[in-house]
Structure 1
Amino acid sequence: MQRTTLPAAIFLAGFSIGANAADANGHGFIEDSQTTISNRTMYYSNDNHDGGADQRETATALKFGFVSGFTQGTVGFGLDVASLVAIHLDGGKGHHPDANTFFPSDTDGSAVHSWSRAGANVKARFSKTELAVGNIFTPNLPILVATDSRLVIQNFGGGIITSKEIDSLTITAGKIDQSSGRATSNPTGLSVAGGTKDSNDFRFAGADWKVTKDLLLQYYFARLENYYTQSYLGLVHVFPLGNEQSFKTDLRYFDSNSDGKNGDVGYRFNNNGGFAKTPGEVDNKTWSAMFTYSLGGHAFLLGHESVSDDGGFVWLNQGNVVDSRNRPEGNGGTAFYLFTDAIVGNFSRAGEQTNFGQYSYDFSKLGVPGLKTSISYLRGDDIKDVAGGSDHKEWERDMRVDYVFQDGPLKGFGTTVRHGTYRGDSPVVPDQDQTRIIFNYSYSL
């Protein structure tokens, strides 16, 4: 695993540019900038009930972030910078798997003591359109989601343009060519689960149309060269019921198909360990419907997700991309835009029909601001295995508690406890209990 030092020079360069671009009217590179220093400490425990090795590790990460404003003029320019260093605190003897799933491994298979990475985005703004090019993107789009489920958030590199020239309409397009995952300082190309060859060409475009203040329509199209194309349609509607009540409808539909070399050796999709009509190829339609009733601090969510019979749901996943020694690069860990992306499982195999529900409560309604809890349950049935059988099933129960201090010397300090219990009858995902305890603190300079 490559080790780097914290590049302080890039901070100084950013501040130097900003000092020269300041604006006397209070709007400019420095005047509209934000500088933060944040820390995340995380305990991660994974108890494997099917005979595999258990994992228990603790690590901390310190991150510096600088987000500039824009220089004055017809075209404004800016610079965003991010740099982090992560330190392994404890793994417990024998409890660090040599798979780079939480923290990078050294040559002997043990966790490295520390690792770091840094990057920047250069950006420009004209009217209500912004273009950014760099390697610290953390998108949350229907076709591209940066995961933040471990110690550090996933970063993507490339270019993204966002336009809001038309009122109530946001148009987003871009090209992504690399990813830096949760346990690596080395960026890699892009892939899917099962793919060992990477692609440096993920292109996408889409629109978010705020039809009314309560209704949002979405359409996105994406293509990962030599792997898949994907279309997305979405609808979000909030119906106010008055007296701190509302009913939210969230509908999502994905249509994914094979592209280029998909199916060839190195470009095969493992269909999340399930059935594929054409082995190695992407062929999927997935829809999901979620309904949430909110009353004061209470929120009740019920939903259903349906994965088509021909193959599993697909999304970016670089976990099988290996280095020159044929070992994982540490770029695993991904997320996708469906509720079934749970703590342990993802409920995304061919034919799977998942019912899910969640109850959450915001304790600010009881005079305890900053405290929130939730519990959710997912059950998937009719999963088709590799041979085409469809009698497999799985379930997961997740619990979460969050608290953020609202004032006093610890203002802004937050704690999150997450626990997931997963059980299933397929060897693809072993029965597991996962616990994550996270401490977050961010200070704005």
Structure 2
Amino acid sequence: HNLSLVHVLPIGESQSFKTDLRYVRSTDDGGSNVDNDAFGALFTYKHGAHAFTGGYQHMSGDTGFAYVAGGDNALINLLQINDFGNQDERSWQVRYDYDFAAMGIPGLSLMTRYVSGDNVDRGAGASEGKTWERNTDIAYVLQSGPLKNLGFKLRNATTRSNFQSDLDENRFIVSYSLPLW
């Protein structure tokens, strides 16, 4: 069961407040061992070219988050490396976005975020699991010419944990958006 509620409240000229609430209930129907409730809340204040986001995600139940068809975008803290969907995990997110169109460079954008998770149930006798991840994207989309909508993104991610592998990743992503009408 998946319930998502999104609302954008215009506050004034070039300002808004966005609320994104998500709840997913996964049960053992069909004989699986799945038992998880996932709750997430993101709040974004946008002012001109700046966007500031804070979020909280909480897992509860006897298992971590279960991925089934269509459920891969249900978690607010699904990032480049981690999803912060372990059994009983709590995680917090802070994020900043900037649109360089405000400085006269349309198509250029920056995103950086930090997510910290704790309270992971690692079984009897094991210490509480803790993880954090930091992501930064710098992206540019061509605004005109024959390659209009061709995008380039450089993405960096770093994660550290006391129960998973520490990783550092860099990705270069090329994309193209094709308007259909």
TM-score, normalisation: structure 2:
0.90
- Of 395, 406, 430 in structure 1, the residue corresponding to residue 165 of structure 2 is 430
Q: Distance in 2 between matches of 1:444 and 1:377?
A: 33
Native 8 Å contact 2:150 2:174 kept in 1: yes
Aligned to 2:66: 314
Larger gyration radius, structure 1 or structure 2: 1
Native 8 Å contact 1:351 1:390 kept in 2: no
> Displacement, 1:389?
4.1
Q: Distance in 2 between matches of 1:341 and 1:248?
A: 19
- Of 291, 307, 311 in structure 1, the residue corresponding to residue 43 of structure 2 is 291
Q: Distance in 1 between matches of 2:57 and 2:178?
A: 40
Identity between Structure 1 and Structure 2 (%): 41
Q: Which amino acid aligns with 1:378?
A: V
Aligned to 1:403: 140
Matches within 5 A, 1:74-93: none
Q: Which amino acid aligns with 1:248?
A: K
Aligned to 2:19: 249
Matches within 5 A, 1:216-365: 231-262=1-32, 281-316=33-68, 335-365=72-102
When residues 284 and 399 of structure 1 are mapped into structure 2, their CA distance, relative to the original with a 3 A threshold, is: same
Post-superposition CA distance 1:287-334 (Å, at most 9, x none): 1111000000111000100101422111128xxxxxxxxxxxxxxxx9
Aligned to 1:391: 128
> Displacement, 1:409?
4.5
Post-superposition CA distance 1:256-303 (Å, at most 9, x none): 1002232xxxxxxxxxxxxxxxxxx11111111110000001110001
> SS of the counterpart of 2:74?
coil
Q: Distance in 1 between matches of 2:2 and 2:124?
A: 29
Q: Which amino acid aligns with 1:236?
A: V
Native 8 Å contact 2:97 2:109 kept in 1: yes
Q: Distance in 1 between matches of 2:22 and 2:176?
A: 34
Q: Distance in 1 between matches of 2:15 and 2:179?
A: 35
> Displacement, 1:439?
2.1
> Displacement, 1:337?
1.7
> SS of the counterpart of 1:241?
strand
> Displacement, 1:386?
3.4
Query: What's the Cα RMSD here?
Result: 2.0
Question: Which ranges of structure 2 fall in alignment gaps of 5 or more residues?
Answer: none
Native 8 Å contact 2:38 2:75 kept in 1: no
Q: Distance in 2 between matches of 1:440 and 1:377?
A: 25
Question: Which ranges of structure 1 fall in alignment gaps of 5 or more residues?
Answer: 1-230, 263-280, 318-333
Aligned to 1:269: none
